[in-house]
Amino acid sequence: MRAYQLTSHDSLPAFADLPIPDPAPGELRVRIAACGLNFADLLMLKGTYQDTPALPFVMGLEVAGVVDAVGDGVSDFAPGDRVAVYGGQGGLAEYGCFPAERAVKLPDGMSWTDAAAFQIAYGTSHLALDHRARLQPGETLLVLGAAGGVGLTAVEIGKLMGATVVACARGADKLEAAKAAGADHLIDAKTQDIREEMKALGGADVVYDPVGGDQFTAAFRSCKPEARILTIGFASGDVPQIKANHLLVKNISVLGLYWGGYLTFKPQVLTGSLAQLLDWHAQDRLHPHVSHALPLDQVAEGMELLRTRKSTGKVVITIQDL
């Protein structure tokens, strides 16, 4: 099979011809239709992601495809089932073997592209806003990086949960994508002062931050008392340092969220969240935004779109027609 493999953190991934793997006990073998790209892929290239696999490995965290074979002990899936899987690796290949416990069955009407773009982005935002921040109807939610892979889903889910959503992104095109996802107010991070704009809107009850850096600092200063700040990631490359006495004075909570971590210590929370999200999708209440769907030959171009922040929503790599 053809696969996009990383063999060294000092060199770029390359295509390799690898044997089609056999599923181990508890695993599914999936014939892969599509693979979603994520910011974490860029960190894995450098070996700085918290769950970077041992070298060599096939890149690609989340896939959609058809079950091709099952290992011993698997009873909930059968060949022919349409599934999405968060495997953490192995997605940028024609076949992959993944733990059955990480797979979810897909509704017939869900496209491969939507399914490959769905789990990490929507799962992260739903767990963050619902399980961690306990976002309430009528609260004001500030979403930083609001046109990115997770940012757009936070806008959508925030609106579904009844919040007033303020979307912050860089440039008119990205803000237009956030507006289409349901944002009530827009802030251009290139030309506007986040703190001043948020003060004019009465301040933030919840901040969703996949960016870090100066935007975190500005958002922190725009928080209401008892606000909750969700740290999702640091796309700016700058991990902010938080002064504990400022948290105390303003009665602010800073909450970390690593979606994949729930697979190891509270998988039922993640499973329940995905069930809710798939139900919303089936009701046509969620609309995955994929700005680029590229063939496997163009996976390097897809990675570059993430690196240069030229995409909105998700970038998906189509592997094969199924």
Note whether residue 36 is domain-resident.
Answer: yes
Q: What range does the domain containing 155 cover?
A: 121-260
Note whether residue 267 is domain-resident.
Answer: no
Note whether residue 272 is domain-resident.
Answer: no
Task: Work out the pLDDT band at 120, boundaries 50, 70, 90.
Answer: very high
Looking at 242, 260, 278, the residue that finishes a domain is 260
Residues 107 and 230 in one domain: no
Note whether residue 9 is domain-resident.
Answer: yes
Residues 154 and 235 in one domain: yes
Say how far apart CA 258 and CA 233 lie, in whole Å.
Answer: 9
Say how far apart CA 319 and CA 322 lie, in whole Å.
Answer: 9
Residues 128 and 153 in one domain: yes
Residues 233 and 170 in one domain: yes
Residues 182 and 140 in one domain: yes
Residues 133 and 247 in one domain: yes
Residues 46 and 177 in one domain: no
Note whether residue 135 is domain-resident.
Answer: yes
pTM of the model: 0.90
Residues 150 and 256 in one domain: yes
Looking at 260, 278, 310, the residue that finishes a domain is 260
Residues 66 and 153 in one domain: no
* Closest by Cα among 63, 103, 137 to 317: 63
CATH number of the domain where residue 144 is located? 3.90.180.10
Note whether residue 193 is domain-resident.
Answer: yes
Can you list the alpha helix ranges (DSSP code H) found in the chain?
39-46, 112-116, 119-126, 151-160, 172-180, 194-200, 213-221, 244-250, 262-265, 267-282, 299-307
pLDDT of 264-306, one tens digit each?
Answer: 899 889 888 998 999 999 999 999 999 999 999 999 999 999 9
* Placement of tokens 């990383």 in the chain: 6
Residues 141 and 242 in one domain: yes
pLDDT of 213-268, one tens digit each?
Answer: 999 999 999 999 999 999 999 988 899 999 999 899 999 999 999 998 998 899 88
Q: Is 222 helix (H, G, I), strand (E, B) or coil?
A: coil
Q: How many domains does the chain have?
A: 2
